[in-house]
Structure 1
Amino acid sequence: MSGHGFHVHGPHDHAVEHAAHGGDNFSNNIAVMTAVLATVGALFGYLGGATQNDAALFKNNAAIAKTTAANSWNYYQAKSNKQNLAEMASSLPGMPEPTQAKYKADVARYEGEKAAIKKEAEKFEKESDEWNEKSEKALHTHHQWALATTAEQIAISLAAITLLTRRRWLLSATYVVAVIGFALGAFAWLHVDPIGALMASGGAGH
């Protein structure tokens, strides 16, 4: 405990502290490796948080576009109702010719206005779908970054256990998990979905 509060040691801190008193190459190599893994893990965590924020922002944009589209469709329906009333009024028996012509002109005007409103509503619906797709992709990338970060954290813990137990076979396990974390990070960076690609190729084969 320091004068400013508690300080919580992580696996990397213990590994480095142990290595500092070890004085041998085995301990020093693991200390360097855990320092690298901690740095890479922190980078993966930052990128994972950034993509999560992007996913939330894109989802919010999709909701705004969807609401705008709904408002446009409501406006479109209101114009349709006015057009129907104008059509009914223009077909009433005994309607004076000038008045009948006015209602027919209103019908034509409403039809033109409806076309513009429909086009706008469809545009916002498409925009909403595009934002939703971007949000899903960003969220998937976030999950990849989260898995990569978790793999590096596990590798750091294994390195600490290796340092304490001096079991060299655990060092091999540490390398394997660390490489898996690097691979997951590379997939997230390149926006590659290996599982989805395998499932797609398997489906195509059938």
Structure 2
Amino acid sequence: MSGGTFHVHGPHDHELEHATQHAAEHGAGHHGAAHHGVGGGSMTNQIAMFTAVIATVGAIFAYMGGATQANAGLFKNNAALKKTEASNQWNYYQSKSSKQNLSELALALVTEDKKDFYRKEIDRYKLEKAEIKLAADKLEAEANEWDRKSDAEMHVHHRWAQATTALQVSIALAAIALLTKKKWLEVGMFGVAAVGAAIGVAAAMHI
């Protein structure tokens, strides 16, 4: 789920409202059906309350899913910046290596009185290269850590998306259960909601 909203309204909404009104009218219609109307009304109220709770929880799950996806994108961007900085350091390192190679070549060609200068140059380039390598290695390690954080956030994002989807399915089952008065559908909506809640807990625990 890439957004931060949880859409409860769907094609079944009109039918759900119609069924609720029908249950209320049927319960008040005549005394002979009063007992049946009370039972239907009780089921209607139970499912309505369940839907409201699940919709609220689903909205929270959807928000968390959007937040983790945003974090994953931010972390991936940080990783890309660190990789660019590391690449620049390695280019700088290569430049120092080339200069060191030229100094080593010059050392072999120049007269003895100039060799000391090129030896110092070679030692300087070696020292600079060591410092540059440390900086480049550190940047690469930071880039890898940002990549790891991004992957972890995306994993949690997928968990939130799965949990949100399960709750949406549960709400759809609730609407169908209300319209058909099928007990097994009512049990199913609770079961799917429980699965969604469990996945949500796993997401909260970064599992």
TM bracket, shorter-chain basis: 0.7 to 0.9
Q: Distance in 1 between matches of 2:200 and 2:11?
A: 21
| Residue-pair matches, total | 183
Q: Check if 1:104 corresponds to 2:105.
A: no
Deviation, structure 1 residue 18: 3.7
CA–CA distance in structure 2, aligned partners of residues 69 and 26 of structure 1: 63
SS of the aligned residue for 1:91 comes to helix
Bigger drift between 10-19 and 47-56 goes to: 10-19
Which runs of at least 4 in structure 1 moved beyond 6 Å after TM superposition?
Answer: none
Residue of structure 2 equivalent to 1:19: 20
> How far did residue 32 of structure 1 move?
0.4
Helix, strand or coil at the partner of 2:109: coil
2:101 to 84, 87, 93: 84
Distance (Å, rounded) in 2 between the aligned partners of 1:171 and 1:21: 19
The secondary structure found in structure 2 opposite 1:64 is helix
Is the Cα contact below 8 Å between 1:73 and 1:118 reproduced in 2?
Answer: yes
The CA deviation string for residues 74-100 of structure 1, in whole angstroms up to 9 with x for no partner, is 10010001011111111215x141x22
C-alpha displacement of 1:101: 1.1
Deviation at 1:22, TM superposition (A): 2.6
Corresponding position of 1:144: 159
User: In angstroms, what is the RMSD of aligned CA positions?
Assistant: 1.7
Structure 2 length normalisation: TM-score? 0.84
Q: CA deviation at 1:16?
A: 5.5
Shift of 1:17: 6.1
Secondary structure of the corresponding residue to residue 154 of structure 1: helix
**Paired letter, 1:140:** H
Matched, 1:191 2:206: yes
Q: In structure 2, what is the Cα distance between the partners aligned to 1:61 and 1:71?
A: 16
Q: Which residue of 2 aligns with 1:28?
A: 45
Larger radius of gyration: 2
1:119 aligned residue: 134
SS of the residue 1:10 aligns to: coil
Instruction: Report the Cα distance in structure 1 between the residues aligned to 2:189 and 2:87, rounded to whole angstroms.
Output: 54
Q: C-alpha offsets along residues 160-186 of structure 1, whole Å, 9 cap, x if unaligned?
A: 000001111100000100000000000
Q: State, as a whole percentage, how many aligned pairs show the same letter.
A: 52
Task: Identify unmatched segments of 5+ residues in structure 2.
Answer: 1-7, 25-40
> Does the CA-based 8 Å contact 1:54-1:135 persist in structure 2?
yes
Conserved? CA contact 1:12–1:35, under 8 Å: no
Instruction: Give me the whole-angstrom Cα distance separating, in 2, the residues matched to 1:60 and 1:20.
Output: 52
The amino acid across from 2:169 in the alignment is I
C-alpha spacing 1:41/1:12, structure 2 compared with 1 (3 Å): farther
